[in-house]
Structure 1
Amino acid sequence: MSTELKTSQKSLYETDFVKWAETTAEQLRTQNYACVDWQNLLEEIEDMSRWERKSLKSNLIVILLHLLKWQYQPEYRSGSWRGSIREHRRRVNDDLKDSPSLVPYLQEVFAEFYTNAREQAADETGFPLEAFPMNCPYLPEQVMNSEYLPD
Structure 2
Amino acid sequence: MTNLQSNTLYDQDFHQWIEQTIVCLKSGDLQALDRINLIEEMDALGKREKRELENRLITLFEHALKRQYVPLEDCYRGWDVTIRRTQKDILKILRDSPSLKPYLQNIFLDCYQEALENMQLEYDVSFPESYPFPTEFDQLLTQSLSHSE
User: Please, what TM-score do these two structures have when normalized by structure 1?
Assistant: 0.85
2:64 corresponds in structure 1 to 67
Alignment of 1:108-127 (within 5 A): 108-127=106-125
- Taking only aligned residues, the RMSD between alpha carbons, in angstroms, comes to 1.8
- SS of the residue aligned with 1:74? coil
Match of 2:146 among 140, 143, 150: 150
Letter in 2 for 1:148: S
Aligned sequence identity (%)? 33
Letter in 2 for 1:40: N
Q: What is the CA–CA distance in structure 2 between the aligned matches of 1:119 and 1:8, rounded to whole Å?
A: 42
Q: What is the CA–CA distance in structure 2 between the aligned matches of 1:49 and 1:92, rounded to whole Å?
A: 16
Alignment of 1:70-149 (within 5 A): 70-76=67-73, 77-127=75-125, 131-140=126-135, 141=137, 142-145=139-142, 147-149=143-145
Match of 1:20 among 17, 22, 27: 17
Match of 2:31 among 27, 31, 34: 34
- SS of the residue aligned with 2:20? helix
Cα distance, 1:10–1:21 mapped onto 2, change above 3 Å: farther
Measured after TM superposition, the shift of residue 60 of structure 1 is: 0.5
Q: Whose RCO is larger (CA < 8 A, sep 6+)?
A: 2
Q: What is the CA–CA distance in structure 2 between the aligned matches of 1:58 and 1:44, rounded to whole Å?
A: 21
**Structure 1 unpaired stretches of 5+:** 1-6
User: Please, what TM-score do these two structures have when normalized by structure 2?
Assistant: 0.86
Equivalent pair of 2:63/2:83 in contact (CA under 8 Å): yes
Measured after TM superposition, the shift of residue 78 of structure 1 is: 3.2
**Structure 2 unpaired stretches of 5+:** none
- SS of the residue aligned with 1:101? helix
Q: What is the CA–CA distance in structure 1 between the aligned matches of 2:6 and 2:21, rounded to whole Å?
A: 9
